[in-house]
Amino acid sequence: MASTNRSAKSLLGLVALFLGELRDGLTMINMQSAFLISSKLYSEKQVGVMFFVFGMSQFLFQTPAGYIMDSSDRKVALLAGAALTTTALTVLTAITAKEYGENIVWMVFLKFIQGGVTALIPPGLNSITQGIVGSTGMTHQVADNEMKNHLGTAIIVLSGSLIAFYTYPNIGLLFIVSPIACAGVIFFLMRINPDDIDHDAARGLKSDTDANATDYQLASDSKEHVSAAPEDNTPTSPLELLKDKTLLVFTVICFLFHLSNGTVLPLVMQTFAVGMDHPRAGFLLSGMCIIVAQIFMVGSAKVCGDYSGRWGRKKLFLIGMFSVPLRCLILYSLVGLKDSIEAAGNDVPLALEIIILSTQILDGVGAGVFGTMYILVTSDIAAGTGRFSLTLGVTSAAMSIGGTVSGYLGQALAQDLGYQTAFMMLCILSLVPALAYTFLMPETCVMENEVKNVEVSNMESIPQNEERQVV
């Protein structure tokens, strides 16, 4: 049984590796945008409308998708179907796009469907993960999934960037990376034995230890959390779940984090593109922005897996959240220096471009920590409710709408006030979720040493004659 469990864990990691950013469409969205603008001569506004619809569709369908995953025992089939469908829609986008957006209504429709389909992917992967490893195994397995996921994303972006570089301006061939990655997802996903998935554990209906089943203590010493499992072992009602104050606070924080952070990467990529005479080099530099961040996200996920069970979720989460205002403040200074050099009629030194690119290390810390920890905190909050995927759908929906609004906010700030001022405004905005988490969120994790103490006390409470029988 142990070897079977290890095999299922290994398969989960391989699924996450090939899934890459297919789980929320971000990587392929960046590639689709570049393709539509450079090869199909779309305007930035047309592309913006398409992916605004994509983000809004994700927002609308995230919570229902979580409910579906909680209710279904066919999680593997649902995840496989979502991966196949979103890949087909990505390829269909490349095949059917007409120049100058002549069929923009059709393209918007494709993005609306794709947004709804990709909403199934995060709760699908994470509910299967929890069903295999249980709640106490989530910390290390989610971290492993995220490490493989970011590594896969880096490979996808590198491959796509190189294809775009060598085939520019006809870069449609880059979309070949999507079906190749999808084939890997389906191959390894279908090798997971359905009997290895405990669907009650996948829903968060039961916990592996008494410690995990208890409510965590809020900062005010009052227990407001509703996750204790009902005595009849039935899931908590969705309305009761949404009354959880901690969940509501965390959902708002997820929205605010993505509102402030979601647009930083595109703005950094645009600072390289502005005034660039060689579009091919722009593709490589844009790809490098993503790759540098993804590589450091691998390390961030590893640290979260190794230490969040010992130090607690909150300390690590705060490191990730406060890295965003620090990153924006550094970018404010660097972009100001770059602007002053260009205003003097001089060429921007390569060293300065490299330093600007290196700020993506902090993106690897911020987004890397958040991507792992938000799943773990959601699992903590949902423990015992039987509504893990629904809860994850709520927090993911907040992230989707935050990221969608962020794209327009960042572009508006950059266009009206300039890139330097935009980074300063985002720096101030990103302090809000960081401070909110500091003062309003409790520690949601039962520490590993506390779980061990509970297990020891339980063993000590067994009468000697019963202990002999157990042995």
Residue 27 has a pLDDT of 57
Residue 274 has a pLDDT of 58
Residue 285 has a pLDDT of 74
> Which tokens is 41 given?
């001569």
Amino acid at 432: V
Distance in angstroms (rounded) separating the CA atoms of residues 153 and 425: 29
Q: SS3 for 346?
A: coil
Residue 21 has a pLDDT of 60
Distance in angstroms (rounded) separating the CA atoms of residues 323 and 461: 46
CB-based burial label for 457 (10 Å; 0-12, 13-18, 19+): exposed
> Which tokens is 106 given?
């059709």
Residue 326 has a pLDDT of 97
Distance in angstroms (rounded) separating the CA atoms of residues 178 and 175: 6
Residue length, the chain? 471
Q: Where are the alpha helices (DSSP H) in 168-198?
A: 177-189
Contact 129, 12 (CB under 8 A): yes
Residue 218 has a pLDDT of 40
Tokens 């009354």 label which residue? Answer: 243
389 closest CA partner among 132, 203, 201: 203
Rounding to the nearest 10 degrees, give the CA dihedral for residues 315, 320, 324, 329: 60
Residue 201 has a pLDDT of 85
Assign 3-class secondary structure to 60-112: HHHHHHHHHHHHCCCHHHHHHHHHHHHHHHHHHHHHHCCHHHCCHHHHHHHHH
Q: Chunked in runs of 10, what are the mean pLDDT values of the chain (471 residues)?
A: 67 88 59 77 80 87 89 91 92 90 93 91 90 85 89 84 79 83 92 87 65 41 46 74 90 96 85 62 74 89 88 92 96 93 85 88 92 91 86 90 86 86 95 96 73 47 47 42
Residue 280 has a pLDDT of 67
Contact 185, 15 (CB under 8 A): yes
> Which tokens is 238 given?
């969705």
